Structure 1
Amino acid sequence: MSARVCKSFKVLVGLEIHVQLATQTKMFTAAPNGATHFGADPNSLVNPVILGLPGVLPVMNKAAVESSIKVGLALGCQIAKHTKWDRKSYYYPDLPKNYQISQYDEPLCGPGVFELEDETGQIVPIRIRRAHLEEDAGKLLHEAPGGFRIDHSIVDLNRAGTPLLEIVTEPDFTTAKQVALFAQELQKLVQFLGVSEGQMQMGHMRFEPNINVHITDDKGVVHKTAITEVKNLNSFSVVERATAFELQRQIHAWEDTGTLGKKSTYGWDENAGATYWQRDKEDADDYRYFPDPDLMPVEVSDEWLNELKSQVGELPRARRKRYESALGLNAKDAAILAGDRATGDYFEQILAAGADARRASTLMETLREIANERGTAATAVGVAPTRLAEIAGLVAAGKLAGNKETAKTIIASLAEQDRSAEQAAASLGLIQSTDTGEVDRLVDELIAENPKSLQDYRGGKQQARGALIGMIMKKAKGLNAKIVGERLDAKVK
């Protein structure tokens, strides 16, 4: 039985996130970007710069720098007025130059704070240490294309040179769930900003938690385990499970052996559901950083920065909160509308055209349903936001039934032929009559023909009221159920 007892412990987790940017070309050359040309034949997205051939020179991708600044602004980072490029030296088969162009002591984005809403609904400030821009390395494959087994590794350099933003947080996460939630929020953020497709299965985002635990024993002494970095996690579930497993592994290792470990790099074995040691961690000195002599420093002017700030606009979390507090939407609908920039902007245009927020949200849900059936985005169905506002206006005026089936039929028609919503509804026979004279006549006939139902209704049975309204609606098409109900109530009372 172990002589060491963990009375309590404090979890400290920092996170490194690598985000491939969705530029058309690579970071320092005009070769196509592997992040936006996913699935290309191996080694088809290369050129002499990627291969590190003698005499070639890098040229900076301005769009990648702008995308990185936008992310930095969204994370609350300080944006450097002056930054430079450094060479990070190491040998690996997927890095032909034997160095990576990166940023060391002067990152593009400096300290910042991002407010994370955790699993309990509390706001947790997550400090951002830095976000720097670099080029990605290639990829080692252990199976040949087509899934054929081979007895050696092969190198695909399509990913080499892809613009890569590395975001580093301080160790402010105290639960595995918080780490996963931050990863999810960051994915929404880069997709909202349009700087990355953010698809983990395509390698657009890779997460690397740095984990250690401060263990307090039964005598009150604190024991600090060494930091382990779990490399290349590519799903939110894996991020959470790997973090949870690793912190428990460190506690059990101390309880069983008394050792606190060494600063190491670990991997994740999905089949075993466990982390495993890969190698001891390198120190910064091992990379022999020095300024890249082939690239000019980047100077960020106030004018340039202000232009990029205007492009960032209202962020998802702020928009989501506004939809809930100011517009009265429920949390689920607000999150869907605010999570995607194009969807949120489309919704804003419906509101600007005069629609009620809740009705507009319901119509957006119907539009998304049509889009899913067609395998496209809601904003690509081909119906202008003003048309949905017109549908909302017709419902408010009592000219249309307010159910999803009616709205879906009209929206589908408008996708085929653009015209006013009222014209579309009329052609489909969906315009409801608001002629109270016709309604009164039908109500009078119904009262005379159904004394038993009328007696039940007067006796307080609401089911009888619904039955009476249904009978009138069947007698004449195109009646407004609300008006029928109002006239029935007026005559019965």
Structure 2
Amino acid sequence: MEYEVVIGLEVHCQLLTNTKIFAADAVVFGDAPNTHISVITLGYPGTLPKLNKKAVEFAIKMGLACGSEITRYNVFARKNYFYPDLPKGYQISQDKTPICVGGGVTIKTKNGEQFIQLHHIHLEEDAGKSIHSEEETDTLLDYNRAGTALIEIVTDPVMKTSEEAAAYLTEVRKLVRYLEICDGNMEEGSLRCDANISIMPKGSTVLGTKVEVKNMNSIRNVQRAIDVEIERQKRAVANGEKIIQETRLFDVTDGRTYSMRTKETMNDYRYFPDPDLAPFVVSEEWLADIKAQMPALPHELHEKFVTTYKLPEYDATVLTDTKEVALYFDKVCSHTTNYKAASNWVMGQIKSYLNENHLDITQFPISPETLSGLIELIDKDKISHTIAAHQVFPLLIQQPGKTAQQIAEENNLLKQNDDNALQTIINEVLAANPQKVKEYKFDGKKNLVGMFMGEVMKKSGGKADPKLANQLLIKTLSEN
């Protein structure tokens, strides 16, 4: 029997707030365990949570970026479920009134563009961290992360392949980084993904029993886990086994999923409005202020690079992969009209330099204005691209306070357009190769011009104007 695969993703993003969502404890990754906790985080009796306004604004920004409807009247609920690493014994989350409803994310795969519909985005607090060490007989608990502000982005079950899931997760990570609401580091757990996977007979309209897979610390492992779970379910059904609704963990070492626990239903969580948190209202004025703060989004910059700068799709995709590179390139283009040259420099020389030195574009010493000046020197035929790339560019990195023009002048790198100086070099080259000159003039070996030009360029240190040098060379050969 052939099966259709149905995939929905739940992506948890830790928000880049300085403090937790309901307490003033600092949010810092990697500090000593249990150093950023307070009586509120630990759920002491009599303590009251207070909502972090910045967390709400970050959630709204993500909703606006996805085209979601922003919920005006919001209520927090208690999700009653035993979390060994959430001291209160329940999680404060949103149930009936998620902050963002609907919307979606456009992805690109080998099958073209596809719109991944979102069900909702809601705010909640993160749990702490359970540490199971081989050296310890007990589970160790670190509450530093408990109470960290999260948004959970929930898709509709609309994806069919692991490739689509990976492309969607890539776009979500790009969006939160552009918005600067989450660093997107899966290896640190600040962006986490759970996949809900089910299969159903081809042509059926009844969804199969879904299985949730957790413990995936990279986009590649999300893709691997989905593929593995799909095959496991197909084998199980073929063997007459019943798929049960459960949560499974993905083992990245052996590439298998393992049962963790039976999946709870919504009734098991016993949601009810949190009596310690008053509802909050998103006013039109507040929403308008957040909209005014929205940065340019990846798809907007991609469209600008293709339509305004006339770049190929490939260039626009590479340049918008990270916000910092996209903005650097856009700034260069405000100082030059040779957009393709700017693209080539950013994707070529600059990217190579950054990779070799393990830097990002924010640490790159050459300013957009200076790079545009280097492009202008080439466009005006004052230096060759070779000289620019191999001599001027490295010197600009060492002396970022100088312009490309200054570097070229100080190091005598400008093209030699002086007829007399070029003529002297040409005469010296021809005098050093009398036999080749004879072959050119009397044996008809006109292709020797290339050899002579090579010697002229070498003798001039690459600074000779190739067009002028070629004209003078042919003229000299015809006269002698």
Query: TM-score, normalized by length of structure 1?
Result: 0.88
> Counterpart of 2:67?
76
* Post-superposition offset of 1:315: 1.9
Q: Does 1:179 align with 2:179?
A: no
Question: What does residue 79 of structure 2 align with?
Answer: 88
Change over 3 Å in CA distance of 1:474–1:409 after alignment to 2: same
- The residue type paired with residue 174 of structure 1 is K
Which residue is equivalent to 2:410?
A: 427
In structure 2, the partner of 1:306 is 288
- Over 3 Å counting, the alpha-carbon distance change for 1:64 and 1:223 in structure 2 is closer
Identity of aligned residues (%): 34
SS of 2:457's partner is: helix
Cα distance in 2 for partners of 1:41, 1:457 equals 83
The aligned counterpart of 1:23 is 17
State the match for 2:254 in structure 1: 272
Q: Is the 8 A contact 1:433 1:478 kept in 2?
A: no
Deviation at 1:447, TM superposition (A): 5.9
2:43 paired residue number: 52
Question: Which stretches of structure 1, 4 residues or more, deviate above 6 A after TM superposition?
Answer: 220-223
Whether the 8 Å CA contact 2:453–2:470 is kept in 1: the answer is no
Q: Deviations over 1:312-356 (max 9, x none)?
A: 333213423443454344555433321222221111111111251
Residue aligned with 2:277, SS: coil
> What stretches of structure 1 of length at least 5 have no aligned partner?
1-5
Query: Deviation string for 1:116-136 (max 9, x for gaps)?
Result: 11233x111210000111110
- Structure 1, 108-117 or 299-308: larger mean CA deviation: 299-308
2:267 matched to 1:285? Answer: yes
After superposition, residues 156-305 of structure 1 pair within 5 angstroms as 156-216=142-202, 225-257=208-240, 259-305=241-287
Question: Shift of the alpha carbon at 1:457?
Answer: 12
d(CA) in 2 for partners of 1:108, 1:458: 81
Other structure's SS at 1:395 match: helix
Letter in 2 for 1:264: E
Query: After superposition, where does 1:314-393 map in structure 2 within 5 Å?
Result: 314-324=296-306, 326-364=308-346, 365-393=348-376
Please give the alpha-carbon distance, in whole angstroms, between the structure 2 residues aligned to 1:480 and 1:28: 69
Query: Structure 1 residues 109, 490: closer, same or farther in 2, change over 3 A?
Result: farther
User: How has the CA–CA distance of structure 1 residues 157 and 419 changed in structure 2, closer, same or farther, with 3 Å as cutoff?
Assistant: same
Query: Which 10-residue stretch deviates more, 375-384 or 339-348?
Result: 375-384
Cα distance in 1 for partners of 2:161, 2:207 equals 17
* Deviation digits for residues 406-465 of structure 1 (CA, Å, limit 9, x no counterpart): 2432321333xx13221122223322223345335544665675425746997664xx44
Give the Å deviation of 1:12: 0.8
SS of structure 1 residue aligned to 2:450? helix
State whether residues 78 and 273 of structure 2, in contact with CA within 8 Å, keep that contact through their aligned partners in structure 1. yes
Q: Secondary structure at the match of 1:149?
A: coil
Aligned length: 471
Classify 1:87/1:343 alpha carbon distance in 2 versus 1 (closer, same or farther; 3 Å): same
**Cα distance in 1 between the residues matched to 2:177 and 2:74:** 25
Matched, 1:137 2:121: no
The match for 1:3 is none
Separation of aligned partners in 2, 1:134 and 1:459:
80
The question of whether the paired residues in 2 share the 8 Å contact of 1:18 and 1:167 is answered with yes
SS in 1 for 2:132: strand
Distance in 2 separating the partners of 1:124 and 1:486: 54
**Is 2:456–2:464's contact at 8 Å kept on the other side of the alignment?**
no
Residue 10 of structure 1: aligned partner: 4
Could you tell me how far apart the structure 1 residues matched to 2:442 and 2:216 are?
Answer: 65
* Contact 1:400-1:480 within 8 A present in 2 as well: no
1:45–1:400 Cα change, 3 Å: same
Rounded Cα–Cα distance in structure 1 between residues aligned with 2:474 and 2:280: 75
Cα deviation, residue 152, structure 1: 1.4
Indicate conservation of the 8 Å contact 1:355/1:389, yes or no.
Answer: no
Asked if the contact 1:115–1:126 (Cα under 8 Å) also holds between the matched residues in 2, the reply is yes
The CA distance in 2 between the partners of 1:166 and 1:60, in whole Å, is 17
Whether 1:472 and 2:461 are equivalent positions in the alignment is: no
Equivalent residue in structure 1 for 2:396, among 379, 404, 411: 411
Q: CA deviation at 1:47?
A: 1.1
Relative distance call for 1:22 and 1:488 in structure 2 (3 A) is farther
After TM superposition, give the deviation of residue 16 of structure 1 in Å: 0.6
Q: State the one-letter code of the partner of 2:399.
A: L
TM-score by length of 2: 0.90
- State the alpha-carbon separation in 1 of the partners of residues 99 and 89 from structure 2: 23
Measured in 1, the distance between the counterparts of 2:291 and 2:396 equals 36
Do the aligned partners of residues 138 and 394 (structure 1) sit closer, same or farther apart at CA in structure 2, a change above 3 Å counting? same
**Higher mean displacement: 50-59 or 196-205:** 50-59
> How far apart, CA to CA, are the structure 2 residues paired with 1:266 and 1:193?
32
Q: Which moved more, 1:207-216 or 1:162-171?
A: 207-216
Deviation at 1:14, TM superposition (A): 0.6
CA contact (8 A) 1:414 1:421 kept: no
Gaps of 5+ in 2: none
CA distance in 1 between counterparts of 2:419 and 2:234 reads 76
| Contact in 2 for aligned 1:266/1:279 (Cα 8 Å) | yes
Asked whether the equivalents of residues 37 and 144 of structure 2 are also in contact (C-alpha less than 8 Å), the reply is: yes
- Cα 1:453/1:76, change in 2 over 3 Å: farther
Verify the 8 A CA contact 2:395 2:407 in the aligned structure 1.
yes
SS for the counterpart of 1:151 is coil
